[in-house]
């Protein structure tokens, strides 16, 4: 039995690849002069033809005209109904008092670390100072006292004695001035 020649197999596969690439290129680029179609018939024919090439996909996508929806980022006070209401009452939009949101910050418990002295500390991210820092039991973070540290939860206490449990990687939001932050 004869062994297969690796060089011959490689050259035949390269030749086959070139032939297939040439065929698909010719099929995608070649004009078909014998078919003269109206624009609607051409569109129907394009959409009904299932092509595997990227050119057919792009042609189909460009043929579809879709209008984008109205902006969802339009602010609430600039809606037409609010503008019409304030104009009908003779109130200028600059005179409208917008309710202010209370300042908030959040604390996120990110995990524990055991120091070389054996003390367990918790990594806490607070958005008020925009920093991560390790805190031991008894230390204060944003007006809260760290009470208990476990691998999955952290217990903190505010100045009024209320306790809050922070779960691992779940941020908890607080209003400034209301929970131990004086």
Distance separating the N- and C-terminal Cα atoms of the chain: 91
Residue with tokens 């680029």: 29
Would you state the CATH architecture of domain 104-175?
Roll (2.30)
The answer to whether 166 touches 109, Cβ cutoff 8 Å, is: yes
Q: How far apart are CA 40 and CA 22, in angstroms?
A: 30
pLDDT of 104: 87
**Pick from 54, 53, 52, 31: which is nearest to 42 by CA?**
31
pLDDT of 72: 55
List the chain residues with pLDDT less than 50: 1, 33-34, 36, 38, 76-77, 180-182
pLDDT of 77: 47
pLDDT of 146: 94
For 6-47, the pLDDT digits (tens) are: 889 999 999 999 999 998 888 888 765 445 454 555 555 555
pTM for the full predicted model: 0.44
**Pick from 160, 175, 180, 174: which is nearest to 107 by CA?**
174
pLDDT of 62: 73
pLDDT of 82: 57
Domain ranges of the chain: 6-63, 104-175
């Amino acid at each position: 039995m004869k062994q297969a020649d690796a060089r011959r197999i490689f050259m035949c596969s390269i030749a086959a690849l070139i032939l297939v690439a040439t065929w698909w290129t010719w099929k995608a680029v070649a004009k078909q002069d014998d078919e003269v179609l109206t624009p609607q018939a051409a569109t129907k024919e394009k959409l009904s033809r299932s092509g595997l090439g990227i050119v057919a996909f792009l042609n189909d996508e460009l043929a579809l005209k879709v209008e984008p929806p109205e902006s969802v980022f339009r602010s609430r006070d600039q809606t037409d109904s609010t503008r019409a209401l304030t104009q009908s009452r003779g109130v200028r939009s600059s005179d409208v008092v917008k309710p202010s949101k209370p300042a908030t910050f959040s604390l996120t418990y990110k995990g524990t670390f055991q120091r070389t002295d054996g003390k367990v500390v918790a990594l806490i991210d607070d958005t008020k100072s925009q920093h991560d820092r390790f805190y031991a039991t008894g230390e204060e973070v944003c007006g809260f006292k760290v009470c208990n540290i476990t691998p999955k939860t952290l217990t903190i206490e505010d100045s009024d004695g209320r306790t809050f449990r922070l779960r691992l990687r779940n941020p908890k939001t607080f209003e400034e001035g209301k929970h131990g932050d004086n």
